[in-house]
């Protein structure tokens, strides 16, 4: 279970059945389309198909090669998903003939470029929870207010890790204790290890934030430097920034070291703290933040590192309770690279796998 900065007891009554009635995700494009060029952009609604399934169907029905069909992000198989794909404009006649019970083309646009991974602002989600008793519905309302005010930690979700202890295999691969000839599989395993290190670092930072929140300056002085205690105790946000943290403007921007005079910008959601994705050529946190980060900094050969937002601010959060049906409907927007499953786990304070 993810280490949760919001210290509420697990909410046990909600049930979640991931299908097209209870789970809907809609992709939000990164930019407006140019209405000229050689690429056709299709806004598609699909049910119970992966993005790869979708591409295969369009390739078979149009004659376009799979590698010529672009997409901005991979979407879930189970549920209703609305996403964009790009395909060469010359296949428009074949596209107009496509009929499939699980696919509907909602919009067509012309654009000058092929869609690439990451070409999206984020995703808007609808999730319906069932068998939610009135007491738990009130708890959900209260927690959502905290999410709106402060945001949430940006853990990697379980989708990143796959099965069969992928993170450990990735570690073994890097350390030379495992050989994988398939480059695609090897990359996925290393990604899993990289993500696990990030999650472990973030969990420790949340533990530290709780400690700084719960103990007095005198009690903290036995374990932490005076300047760190004084710096943290000035902060109102539940996630405590440290000297040397690397920040980014939110929701996008370059890395820069935290200026102690700009702590309020984090509380105002103008900037956010970042965590390390291990690799080469990546900026590192310094000072006390660097001491924590160093514990999770493992060199990953042949890969450039990066910084990932460790804290995000979900938008358009809405929670509506149908007391007659004991159903709780959630709507929220997450930036790209963030996980609805993490949002749910933090909200319910229990593993999604238990639902």
Whether the pTM exceeds 0.85: the reply is yes
Backbone angles phi, psi at 64, to 5 degrees: -70, 145
**Cis? peptide before 342, omega within 30° of 0:** no
pLDDT band per the 50, 70, 90 thresholds, residue 165 = confident
Residues tagged active-site = 76
In tens, the pLDDT along 57-80 reads 999 999 999 999 999 998 888 899
Contact 116, 65 (CB under 8 A): no
Cβ count within 10 A of residue 195: 21
In tens, the pLDDT along 200-211 reads 999 999 999 999
- From 192, 133, 202, 131, select the one nearest 165 (Cα to Cα): 192
In tens, the pLDDT along 211-241 reads 999 999 999 999 999 999 999 999 999 999 9
Contact 338, 134 (CB under 8 A): no
Q: Is the pLDDT of residue 161 over 90?
A: no
Backbone angles phi, psi at 82, to 5 degrees: -120, 115
* Dihedral sign for Cα atoms in the order 290, 291, 296, 297: positive
Contact 244, 288 (CB under 8 A): yes
Give 206's strand partners. Answer: none
Q: Which domains does the chain have, with CATH numbers?
A: 1-16+130-151+315-355 (no CATH), 23-126 (3.30.2350.20), 152-313 (3.30.2340.10)
């Amino acid at each position: 279970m993810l280490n949760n900065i919001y210290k509420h007891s697990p909410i046990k009554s909600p049930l979640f059945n991931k299908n097209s009635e209870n789970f809907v995700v809609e992709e939000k494009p990164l930019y407006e389309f140019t209405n000229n060029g050689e690429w056709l952009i299709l806004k598609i609604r699909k049910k119970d198909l992966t993005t790869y399934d979708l591409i295969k169907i369009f390739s078979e029905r149009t004659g376009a090669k799979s590698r010529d069909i672009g997409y901005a992000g991979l979407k879930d198989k189970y549920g209703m998903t609305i996403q964009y794909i790009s395909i060469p404009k010359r296949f428009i006649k074949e596209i107009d003939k496509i009929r499939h019970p699980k696919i509907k083309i909602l919009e067509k646009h012309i654009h000058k470029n092929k869609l690439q991974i990451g070409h999206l602002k984020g995703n808007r989600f609808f999730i319906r929870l069932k068998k939610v008793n009135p007491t738990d519905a009130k708890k959900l309302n209260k927690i959502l207010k905290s999410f709106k005010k402060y945001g949430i930690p940006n853990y990697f979700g379980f989708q990143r890790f796959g099965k069969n202890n992928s993170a450990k295999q990735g570690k073994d691969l890097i350390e030379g204790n495992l050989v994988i000839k398939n480059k695609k599989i090897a990359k996925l395993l290393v990604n899993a290890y990289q993500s696990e290190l990030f999650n472990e670092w973030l969990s420790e930072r949340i533990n530290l934030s709780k400690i700084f929140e719960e103990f007095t300056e005198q009690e903290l002085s036995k374990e932490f430097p005076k300047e760190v205690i004084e710096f943290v105790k000035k902060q109102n946000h539940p996630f405590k920034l440290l000297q040397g943290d690397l920040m980014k403007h939110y929701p996008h921007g370059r890395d820069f070291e935290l200026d102690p005079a700009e702590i309020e910008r984090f509380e105002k959601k103008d900037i956010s703290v970042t965590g390390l994705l291990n690799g080469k050529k990546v900026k590192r946190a310094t000072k006390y933040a660097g001491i924590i980060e160093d514990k999770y900094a493992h060199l990953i050969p042949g890969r450039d590192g990066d910084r990932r937002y460790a804290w995000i601010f979900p938008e358009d959060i809405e929670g509506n309770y149908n007391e007659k049906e004991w159903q709780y409907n959630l709507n929220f927007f997450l930036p790209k690279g963030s996980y609805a499953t993490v949002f749910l786990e933090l909200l319910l304070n229990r593993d999604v796998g238990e639902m």
